[in-house]
Amino acid sequence: MTNESAMKFSPEMRARAVRMVLDHEGDHPSRWAAISSVAAKIGCTAETLRLWLKRAERDSADGGRASDVEARMKALERENRELRQANEILRKASAYFALAELDRRHKP
């Protein structure tokens, strides 16, 4: 799923679209036809809706743990990145102040 489609459609809208495909799958000759029909109605691509459906099926098979783990991993990666940036800033500030202290001690 692209970031654009994640931002454009709320989780509720994605869940509703998935339900629509599942509810109306029997009205179409194939699952892809049902996906294409619903995708055209909600304004997304059929491939995007297929991915939403695939994720929903995977989540229901494992009790929703896959998305929970994925979301937790993204949050931890973001936190890790922010902590690395903070450590880098602190390291540079420490070096700057240590150098300033040395300069201050050597000046008459």
Which of 74, 20, 70 lies closest to 44, judged by CA?
A: 20
Cβ 18 vs Cβ 53: under 8 Å: yes
Do 3 and 38 reside in the same domain of the chain?
yes
Do 86 and 74 reside in the same domain of the chain?
yes
Cβ 53 vs Cβ 35: under 8 Å: yes
Do 72 and 26 reside in the same domain of the chain?
no
From first to last of the 108 residues of the chain, give the pLDDT tens digit: 445 555 688 889 999 999 999 999 999 999 999 999 999 999 999 999 999 999 998 888 766 566 778 889 999 999 999 999 999 999 999 999 999 888 887 776
Which residues make Cβ contacts (< 8 Å) with residue 7, sequence separation at least 6?
Answer: none
Do 44 and 2 reside in the same domain of the chain?
yes
Do 76 and 54 reside in the same domain of the chain?
no
Looking at residue 1, its pLDDT comes to: 46
Do 7 and 50 reside in the same domain of the chain?
yes
Do 69 and 56 reside in the same domain of the chain?
no
- For residue 55, the domain's CATH number is 1.10.10.10
Looking at residue 78, its pLDDT comes to: 96
Number of domains in the chain: 2
Do 19 and 31 reside in the same domain of the chain?
yes
Residue 42 sits at the vertex; the CA angle it makes with 67 and 30, to the nearest 5 degrees, is 80
Cβ 51 vs Cβ 17: under 8 Å: no
Looking at residue 108, its pLDDT comes to: 64
Residue 10 belongs to domain spanning: 1-61
Looking at residue 52, its pLDDT comes to: 94
Do 34 and 76 reside in the same domain of the chain?
no
